[in-house]
Structures are given as structure tokens and as C-alpha cells.
Amino acid sequence: MLRRLTLFLASNGRITDFIRRKGMSTGFARRFVAGETLDEAVQAIVELNRAGMTASLDFLGESITDRGEAGKAAGHYLEILDAISRASIRCNISVKLTQLGLDIDLSIALENMRHILTKAKEYEIFVRIDMEGSRYTELTLEAFRQLHREFGNGVGPVLQSYLYRTEADLESLMPLKPNVRLCKGAYMEPPEVAFPDKADVDKNYVRLLEKLLLEAGYTGIATHDEAIIRHARRFIADKRIGQERFEFQMLYGIRRDLQARLVREGYKLRVYVPYGSQWLPYFMRRLGERPANLWFVLRNVFKG
């Protein structure tokens, strides 16, 4: 029901226009998005670092179908890497391949990724390849395999536990000992490709997580689900898995109390920090994940 309501909001011109016009200026979009400029994003990460957290910086944008625009997006990521180095912030970057031309051709996205990874290697900054909707899963994993051959574990993929195929994908990646971010998945998917029930998504998440913690090179435990976090902590303690093998990861603005608690208890915590003018699609996906997010925005909409 929550996702259906979010889809209704996304298709309602009055609401999306309001969110686009007022989301940043009145502040409610800033709960989930660090701002529209790189300077705003860097300042947000400075504050996170002061609180004992690291970050993954994401320049928002996707589904670019013009080669020149894809090249510009790649160029902006080079500027981001320079800014991370200048500011001496503890931060890596997250990149969507459709922002770099995947919808045009895989070779274009790979060319742009190689420019980004070459500079990232100079700065010793890790690059995460974000996972998008299921129609991109195979191409994204193929891109990762090609780039891993050239850049090793300076690059890593995201896996989504709501897809049926993910367990087989993980098995195929294990020989690489990859650095993997495991999340549940935030895109609308048909029941033919994804578990429709949350309980099955959660069960698959735990199964995949245990395998990653035992066999992967490094695991990003990307969830705000306290039951899964408790299970992960018990499993890590029982198997005596070292802190150098994993970190918890959460989204900017969501469960800040839980983020702070994990840091106080001595765990590594990385916050995914999005910014940029193309923030609306990301923002709408966040609304579909938790009722509290949705009601927070609806209150602001009807105030306006």
C-alpha cells in the first residue's frame, strides 16, 4: 500500500511540482538530500566525519541518453574526487552507470568509468557502482567484472536482496572476493523478478549477508532494519569476524539515532550522501520505503 501511495504521489503533478519547487528552499527535502551543490555536500560530510562517520558521495542523476551529457557527468565526478582530496574528508563515491551513458551503450559507460577510476586510484578513493532497476542488473554486473579486472577492489558493486537472481549473482562474484554493498532494493519491480513480500526480502538479505561476511573481501551492511542489524551483530560476534571486514551503511537523514548509536558502540558507519539538482527521483524512492518519510512530506505539502 505504501508503495502504491508513493506512486500516486509521483504521478500527481501538483504534489511533484510542489516538492520540486519547495523541497530545498523550505528544507524538507534536505532531510534526505545534502543540497544541490558540491560545496553543500562536502560540508555535510565534514559534519558526519566530526561525528565519527564516513560517507559515500553520490551526484544525483540517471538515465542520461546524450553522450555529451554523460561525459559531463563523468567530468563532474572528477571534480568531486578533487574536492574530496582538497577537503581531506573520509569519503568514497557512488556512481550510477545510466548517468554515464549505459542507456546509450555499455562501452560508453565503461569509458567514463575508467576516467573516474583512474583518478580515484591516484587519490586512493573507493568507487561504488550503484545498482539500478532490474533491467540493468546484468549489464551493471558485467561492467563491474570488466572494471574489477583493471582496478581490482578499488571498485565494488551493490546487490539487492529483493531480486530472485541475487543469490546466483553473489555465487558468481565470490571468486573475486569483492567489496559489496548489500541493500534490500528500492525500485518498483514485478513479482516475476523480485520477492513481493517483505518477509522474503528480509530472509534473503540475511542469507546473502551471512555468505558475504564469511567469504567476501569486504561487506557494506546497508540497512536501517534493526532486527537485521541485531542479527548481523550476533553473527559477527559468533564467527569472530574482524572490524576490517565490514561496515554498517545507512542513508543520509534516515535513522540518525541509530547511526549515532552504532558509532558509540564502536562500529564503522558510512552514510550515503546524495546531492545535486536532479534529486526528485531519489527523493521519491525514499518516500516509498518508510511510512514516517511519507507522512513527513505530506504534512509539508498540505501546509503549502
Catalytic-labelled residue, pool 30, 128, 181, 286: 181
- At residue 57's C-alpha, the angle toward residues 54 and 63, to 5°, is 150
Phi, psi of 186 (to 5 degrees): -120, 5
* DSSP state for residue 30 in the 8-state scheme: G
Q: Would residue 181 show up in a list of annotated catalytic residues for this protein?
A: yes
Residues 196/204, Cβ–Cβ less than 8 Å: no
**248: β partners:** 221, 269
Strand-pair category, 127-129 with 91-95 = parallel
Relative to beta strand 155-160, strand 54-59 is unpaired
Catalytic residue among 130, 169, 255, 286: 130
Measured in Å, how far apart are the chain's first and last C-alpha atoms? 25
Cβ atoms 247, 271 nearer than 8 A: no
130 is catalytic: yes
CB 201 within 8 A of CB 182: no
Percent helix, strand and coil across the chain, each rounded to 5?
60, 15, 30
> CA–CA separation, 268 vs 286, rounded Å?
23
Write down the H helix ranges in the chain.
2-11, 13-22, 38-50, 67-87, 106-123, 137-151, 166-173, 198-215, 226-238, 256-264, 280-287, 291-303
Beta strands 218-222; 246-251: pairing state = parallel
CB 68 within 8 A of CB 290: no
Question: Whole-angstrom Cα distance, residue 207 to residue 201?
Answer: 10
Question: Catalytic residue numbers?
Answer: 130, 181
